Amino acid sequence: MTPELFDILTSPAVLDLPGRNAQAARLVILEQWNMRAAAQAHGITAGTVSRAVTRIRAAYEALNPVLR
């Protein structure tokens, strides 16, 4: 997944993820951070990061054939 595609998926037009959730998920998906470390860096729980990552990955899988 490219950073540009990540931005599209987390935008208000698609998933509308709040800022801290999207920023922590970006660290996990694009930078390969541990979920707990990303959560701690943004002051949210690891469960919140996990849910955000799951939503982004599901949207990516669903839209990937269309985006090719």
Mean pLDDT of 41-67: 96
- Tell me the residue range of the domain where 58 lies: 3-67
Domains contained in the chain, number: 1
Which amino acid would we find at residue 8? I
Using CA atoms, how far apart are residues 14 and 40, in angstroms rounded to an integer? 26
What percent of the chain shows pLDDT beyond 90? 94
Q: pLDDT digits over 7-34, tens only?
A: 999 999 999 999 999 999 999 999 999 9
The confidence band for 67, taking pLDDT boundaries of 50, 70 and 90, is: confident
